[in-house]
Amino acid sequence: MSPRLHPDLTTADTEYGTVLLDQRDGRYWQLNPSAALIMRVLTEGGDRDRAADTLLDAFDVDRDRALHDVDAVLTELTAAGLVVP
């Protein structure tokens, strides 16, 4: 099952990535373009490998770095309670 954004989040795309507003506590979270891309792929049903492949297509990174970044973003968003499994 793919992660999904917590239902109390509002998102807005900006030229700098994506901003998340957690309506539970009023906190804002800024995702840079690569983190925003990872989040979008995962929450639209993509898996870890698909998110890494999308990063490879969009940015000049190697596969190991892309996989690490996917894991890091998912871990951080989950720990903050912004995504749920």
Write out the two tokens for 7.
Answer: 């239902």
CA angle 71, 24, 4 (to 5 degrees): 35
What was the pLDDT predicted at 24?
Answer: 95
Q: What is the mean pLDDT of the chain?
A: 94
What was the pLDDT predicted at 59?
Answer: 95
Write out the two tokens for 34.
Answer: 């690569």
- Cβ distance 25 to 35 under 8 Å? no
What was the pLDDT predicted at 85?
Answer: 75
Q: What is the mean pLDDT of residues 10-29?
A: 95
What was the pLDDT predicted at 53?
Answer: 97
Per residue in 62-75, pLDDT (tens digit) is 999 999 999 999 99
- Cβ distance 70 to 52 under 8 Å? yes
